[in-house]
């Protein structure tokens, strides 16, 4: 049975980031809901990351236009870190699509055994999504990071998903 989510997901696409995406990546990090949790990378850092064999930047597209960013760190053959995900318009389903894509890519294409991530404890929306998609809360680091906006120390939650945990 086809659902609205199926129709919406067809307009989503993941592709490797390119040099001409740098300005979009910078603008994305200037959005209030993104700034709250992620520090904007410098343009030079974004460009340097293109040369990395380990960390890959992906652009999330909606309707053929850039709408988000995802960074995957291929730490080991069996281990992938979902290092960063940001979408321009939360609530569109793009984040769900991107995480499902990342899990499929890691487990089915790369043969990984585990995908892990860290997220601000205050980012309840993201934490709920990770749980729905099979990630398990593995621990909380008290004052695990310093918020770059408020300079306050905040808790950081660690999540992991094994190939056997996956929910679709």
Mean pLDDT of each 10-residue bin along the chain, 168 residues long: 55 97 97 93 93 95 98 95 97 97 97 97 96 97 94 97 83
CATH code matching the domain that covers 4-162, chosen among 3.40.630.30, 3.40.50.300, 3.30.70.20, 3.40.50.920: 3.40.630.30
The domain segmentation of the chain, as residue ranges, is 4-162
pLDDT of residue 4: 45
pTM recorded for the entire structure: 0.90
pLDDT of 9? 62
Residue 168: what pLDDT?
62
Give the per-residue pLDDT at 2.
45
Which contacts (CB < 8 Å, 24+ apart) does range 34-42 have?
Answer: 34/86, 35/149, 36/149, 37/119, 37/120, 37/122, 37/123, 37/126, 38/84, 38/86, 39/148
């Amino acid at each position: 049975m086809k659902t609205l989510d199926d129709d919406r997901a067809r307009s989503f696409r993941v592709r490797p980031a390119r040099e001409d995406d740098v300005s979009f990546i910078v603008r994305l990090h200037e959005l209030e809901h993104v700034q709250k949790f992620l520090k904007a990378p410098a343009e030079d850092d974004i460009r340097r990351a293109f040369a990395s064999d380990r960390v890959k930047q992906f652009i999330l597209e909606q309707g053929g236009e850039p709408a988000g960013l995802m960074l995957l760190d291929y730490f080991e053959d069996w281990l992938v870190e979902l290092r960063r995900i940001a979408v321009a318009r939360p609530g569109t389903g793009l984040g769900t699509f991107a995480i499902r894509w990342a899990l499929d890519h890691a487990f089915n294409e790369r043969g990984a055994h585990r995908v892990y991530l860290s997220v601000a404890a205050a980012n309840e929306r993201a934490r709920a999504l990770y749980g729905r998609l099979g990630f398990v809360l593995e621990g909380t680091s008290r004052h695990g990071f310093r918020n770059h906006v408020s300079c306050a120390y905040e808790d950081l939650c660690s999540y992991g998903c094994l190939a056997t945990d996956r929910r679709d």
